[in-house]
Chain A
Amino acid sequence: MGQGTQGMEGQESVIDEQLTAATVGIILVIALFNGSNYFLSNRTVEPFSELGILGPNQKIADYPTSVYAGQNFTLYLYVGNHEGHVMYYDVLVKVGDRSSVINENVSLASPPIASYSIVLMDNQTYLKPIVLSLSHAGTDERLVFELWDYRANVSGFVYDHRFNQIYLNVTAPPI
């Protein structure tokens, strides 16, 4: 009888411990969730900006390949901000050729033929139709779009290491 009572008390004690552990565990999980929500909600893990040039149908296709000099053609400019804070962008449109040097670190050493400025909130995107024309005829003309962003510490725009390009054959306009 005594042994049976001791056995039951032992069982109750195990149940007590399990119940306490489960209840405290649930509260701790809630506290952890609450804490992570507070500390990580405004944190951007991998900040980045997006630059895209879309064709006249707002797709990554149907880009013009051949235009007349002076002929207007439409493209769509896409910029996305995922930097974790508000950004002031400037997209410069430049013209080069196959021998022109441009990469993630060096911007094209040509004067811009057009520029588009926009201030974007974090996680905001921008899509705008742009009408361009090239004045000089040439084969494999390189239409370059560079993304620049404003840096308050230098009070000016700095090349953001992102560019897009399309190649065009520009022919003399028909007479």
Chain B
Amino acid sequence: MHRRRALVAAFIFLILLLSSAQRAYSFSSSQVRQEIGQAYASVLDAEQKGGNVTGLVSQLNEAITLLNQGDAANKTNPSLAQQLYSSAFSIASNVIQLSPGVASAGVASRSLSLEIFASETAVLGILAFLAYLLTPRVFWSAWVRARRGWRVRKA
């Protein structure tokens, strides 16, 4: 019974220790900078795969602004700087998480536009072939139809 209580107490103590450690975890300016760099690399990759990265870029710029504000506040108000660094870090992490989805959407969009291009090219090829075969016949039948009412008079 005592052992069980001791185990429960140790477990609760461990949880409290972990949660306080998490709360006390602080980011340095260089860590945030590094995370933003990684986020940029993931955005670049998503863009190269055809993804629309407009939203991600504006989030990255928001993270950069927060980082700069954190750097400015670091000497006078370190706790405010920590909050700003933490926000910047979480935005950059969010960008890293969102980038693969944007990249997949880009790949799908590229594949669709390739399919559309292939279909258009095929249709134009068929049209060119039909034009080669049928243009004179279509033209002359239209020519005759347009002059159906004409009468020939002796000059």
Chain A residues with Cβ below 8 Å from B47 are: 85-86
How many contacts A-B (CB < 8 Å)?
75
Chain B residues with Cβ below 8 Å from A85 are: 44, 47-48
Are the C-beta atoms of B43 and A86 separated by less than 8 Å? yes
Q: Digit string of B76-118 for contact with A (CB within 8 Å is 1, else 0)?
A: 0000000000000000000000000000000000000100010
Closest to A119 in B: B60
Chain B residues with Cβ below 8 Å from A86 are: 40, 43-44, 47, 53, 57
Q: How far is the CB of B129 from chain A (nearest CB, A)?
A: 9
Segment touching B, from A25-33, A47-55, A161-169: A25-33
Chain B residues with Cβ below 8 Å from A31 are: 121, 124-125, 128
Are the C-beta atoms of B40 and A19 separated by less than 8 Å? no
Q: How many residues of A contact B (CB 8 A)?
A: 26
Segment touching B, from A3-11, A139-147, A148-156: A148-156
Q: Digit string of A105-145 for contact with B (CB within 8 Å is 1, else 0)?
A: 00000000000011111000000000000000000000000
For window 23-65 of B, CB contacts with A under 8 Å fall at: 34, 36-38, 40-41, 43-44, 47-48, 53-54, 57, 60-61, 64
Are the C-beta atoms of B44 and A152 separated by less than 8 Å? yes
A20 to B136, CA, bound (A): 7
Q: How far is the CB of B111 from chain A (nearest CB, A)?
A: 13
Are the C-beta atoms of A117 and B64 separated by less than 8 Å? yes
A28 to B129, CA, bound (A): 11
Are the C-beta atoms of B121 and A34 separated by less than 8 Å? yes
For window 119-151 of B, CB contacts with A under 8 Å fall at: 120-121, 124-125, 127-128, 131-132, 135-136, 139-140
A residues at B contact (CB < 8 Å): 12, 15-16, 19-20, 23-24, 27-28, 30-31, 34-35, 38, 85-86, 88, 117-121, 150, 152, 155-156
* The 5 residue pairs across chains A and B that have the minimum distance between CB atoms: A152-B41, A16-B136, A23-B131, A88-B40, A31-B124
